[in-house]
């Protein structure tokens, strides 16, 4: 199968860390991505990780990849209200087409 | 440097009609992919165009067709519209190198409502 699964909702307080989890099923995926979508907008690429990496850090964002369990996570440090959005995990399959999860809605309260 | 531009931004059509959506890729990109995002769902891959040919297709009926022009811009056509075709249609461009596409960049989408 080619299903990417994510929890649907996460609520955190401003200043806390947020962790969004994703599981994927295709071990041949070469890249795994995290996208952010704000209301009424398109998709903004946040970060990506190559399948031979375990971790990637980019400012407040940390991506962890567990290939054995096909588990991907996105940690946002010092979460701000502007981080409130829907976050999509996506895997890169043949010919660079992306398969997305249903998205995790992150709500950051002051 | 302009990113991916899509037009129109919003569109209302009646069941049974036909619609054409347009996409201009980011400068330097040669590949265009189209996705459908229904409300509350993740984007679903429709098809990808490279060198003016359909390179890959997702699980969508033949009512969905496309075209890529020599300047790399692309159109998505949907015939015999159904209520279920109401969605945000996203275009993404990329650059093919060594058989893989890099620099995936999405446009802001076209919101299609079928009534």
- Structure token pair of residue A110: 């002051």
**Contact assignment for A30 to B100 by CB distance below 8 Å:** yes
SS3 per residue for B18-34: CEEEEEECCCCCCEEEE
Window 46-85 of A: residues touching B by CB (8 A cutoff) are none
**Contact assignment for A97 to B45 by CB distance below 8 Å:** yes
CA–CA dist A87, A44 (Å, integer): 9
- Tens place of pLDDT for every residue, chain A, 110 residues? 458 999 999 999 999 999 999 998 877 777 889 999 998 888 999 998 988 889 999 999 999 999 999 999 999 999 999 999 999 999 887 666 889 999 999 999 99
pLDDT of residue B96: 74
**Contact assignment for B42 to A33 by CB distance below 8 Å:** no
**Contact assignment for A4 to B101 by CB distance below 8 Å:** no
Q: Tokens 């998505």 correspond to what residue? A: B76
Residue A105 at interface with chain B, using a CB cutoff of 8 Å: no
Distance from CA of A105 to the nearest CA of B (A): 10
Rounded to the nearest angstrom, the gap between the alpha carbon of residue B106 and the centroid of all alpha carbons in its chain is 10
Asked if residues B103 and B51 have their Cβ atoms less than 8 Å apart, the reply is: no
Nearest CA in chain A to B50: A95
pLDDT, tens digit (0-9, with 9 covering 90-100), for B51-94:
999 998 999 999 999 999 999 999 999 999 999 999 999 999 98
pLDDT of residue A1: 44
pLDDT of residue A96: 67
Residues in chain A: 110
Asked if residues B28 and B97 have their Cβ atoms less than 8 Å apart, the reply is: no
Closest CB to B43: pick one of A30, A41, A100. Answer: A100
**Contact assignment for B56 to A43 by CB distance below 8 Å:** no
């Amino acid at each position: 199968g080619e299903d990417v699964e994510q929890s649907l909702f996460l609520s955190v307080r401003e200043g806390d860390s947020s962790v969004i989890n994703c599981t994927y099923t295709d071990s041949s995926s070469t890249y795994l991505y995290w996208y952010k979508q704000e209301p009424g907008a398109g998709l903004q690429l946040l970060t990506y990780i190559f399948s031979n990496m375990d971790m990637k850090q980019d400012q407040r964002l940390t991506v962890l990849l567990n290939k054995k369990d096909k588990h991907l996570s996105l940690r946002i440090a010092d979460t701000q209200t502007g981080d409130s959005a829907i976050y999509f995990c996506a895997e890169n399959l043949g010919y660079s087409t992306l398969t997305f999860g249903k998205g995790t809605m992150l709500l950051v309260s002051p | 440097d302009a990113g991916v531009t899509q037009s129109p931004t919003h569109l209302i059509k009646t069941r049974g009609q036909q619609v054409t959506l347009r996409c201009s890729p980011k400068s330097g990109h040669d590949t265009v992919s189209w996705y459908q995002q229904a409300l509350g769902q993740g984007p679903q891959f429709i098809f990808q165009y490279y060198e003016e040919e359909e390179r890959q297709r997702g699980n969508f009926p033949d009512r969905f067709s496309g075209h890529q022009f020599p300047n790399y811009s692309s159109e998505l056509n949907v015939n015999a519209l159904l209520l279920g075709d109401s969605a945000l249609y996203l275009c993404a461009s990329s650059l093919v190198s060594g058989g893989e596409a890099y620099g995936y960049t999405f446009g802001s989408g076209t919101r299609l409502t079928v009534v």
